[in-house]
Amino acid sequence: MTDIHPTAVVEDGARLADGVTVGPFTVIGPDVELAEAVSVQSHVVINGHTRIGARTQIFPFAAIGGPPQDTSYTDEPTKIVIGSDCVIREQATVNRGTARGKGVTTIGDRCMLMIGAHVAHDCVVSDDVLLVNNATLGGHSEIGEHAILGGLSAVQQNCRVGAHAFIGGVTGVTADVIPFVSALGHRAEIAGLNIVGLKRRGFDRPTIHALRAAYKAVFDGTGSRGERLDRVAEEYADIPAAMTIVAFIRAGGDRRLALPRD
């Protein structure tokens, strides 16, 4: 059964599954759906067409489902979908999508948004992503699984951050960051592979060696970008992680990439 504090406002039409708890002075809008065992603490606002997955925890003063900060938005019924087992800490914000974008802002399973993190309209945040305090995603950003964005970092609208990448604190991402690397600096520059993260997530030594070689071949090899990618794809066809880099770059076409430091 649900546990709703008497000072909370749960509007007619909201759908709350078994085990949901809603704390004092929280407001749940009429188009919100909370799955099993979602915990919403005090002074939270959740509105819009928002669906939140099972066991997700939402801390005080978070604001989820607000309209996008986009001048093209005219109150279309766009959405937010947040996965299961997420943690959304104090003052974090998530805005719904736009009609001219994807129409939905998506956050995967087991993500953590620390204090003051912001996910803008039409973003796609994959599973197991960590946004450290005050990390900010501009509209239409795409963040790959297991990526970590450091405190006060900012991803410019429409940029992509690949799986298992690490973005340093106070770093501005203005170009796509390929998977498996660390990017640091005032404007993100690649500082090498995210070795610490790869080891923590169980990548074995041969895979890490292959990733290092593929990374160098992508950025230091001869020929055009397409030619370098073709060579990497041929040489490392049996290394799924290396092929993840190839697929990420190819999916972006001619999009600008964050480059290695000099």
Catalytic residue among 31, 109, 122, 176: 122
CB neighbours of residue 207 within 10 Å? 16
Catalytic residue among 65, 139, 168, 197: 139
Instruction: Please answer whether residues 237 and 247 qualify as being in contact, where contact means their C-beta atoms are separated by less than 8 angstroms.
Output: no
Amino acid at 135: A
Nearest residue to 228 via CA among 212, 255, 246: 246
Is 122 annotated in the active site? yes
Instruction: Please answer whether residues 59 and 41 qualify as being in contact, where contact means their C-beta atoms are separated by less than 8 angstroms.
Output: yes
d(CA 75, CA 118): 20
Catalytic residue among 121, 140, 146, 164: 121
The radius of gyration of the chain from alpha carbons, rounded to an integer in Å, stands at 20
CB neighbours of residue 57 within 10 Å? 17
d(CA 33, CA 16): 6
Is 65 annotated in the active site? no
Give residue 72's Cα distance to chain centre. Answer: 23
Give residue 237's Cα distance to chain centre. Answer: 28
The token duo for 53 is 């997955």
Is 254 annotated in the active site? no
Task: Catalogue the active-site residues.
Answer: 121-122, 139
